[in-house]
Amino acid sequence: MYKVGIDLVEIERIKKGCANPRFIDRVYSRAEQELFCGETMRYESLAGNWAVKEAFSKALGTGVRDFLLTEVEVLRDELGAPYLRLSGRAKQRAEEQGLEFSVSITHTKQLAEAVCIAYRA
């Protein structure tokens, strides 16, 4: 069984949100903040991560409810490919359904898009 989630977000919208530190702390884990919130904010990557979190919630079939966005970490492997690290209730919901996830992110200057495929391993 496969499930698919997709999301598209305007990078400018995320940039405006990041002006508020509470937004950053509510949406992005410490590990994500360390990757993308240095001296130079990487808004396209933050927007891509937002889109993955939304796409994950759609592939999970719940929407963004009953888990925190920080429980869905979007990190990068040694080659820069995104992957999910789940914790808390997000991990519990995925395990209850027996799902694993594969994600992909792309962006232009204005938009970031993500696809999340959920599958049974």
Task: Catalogue the active-site residues.
Answer: 58, 107
Confirm if 5 and 115 have CB atoms less than 8 A apart: yes
Alpha carbon distance 100, 4 (integer Å): 12
Nearest Cα to Cα of residue 59 among 72, 47, 48: 72
* 61 phi-psi bin (left φ>0, alpha ψ -120 to 50, beta other): left
The SS3 call for residue 98 is coil
The answer for residues whose C-beta is within 8 angstroms of residue 111's C-beta and 6 or more apart is 8, 9, 10, 11, 47
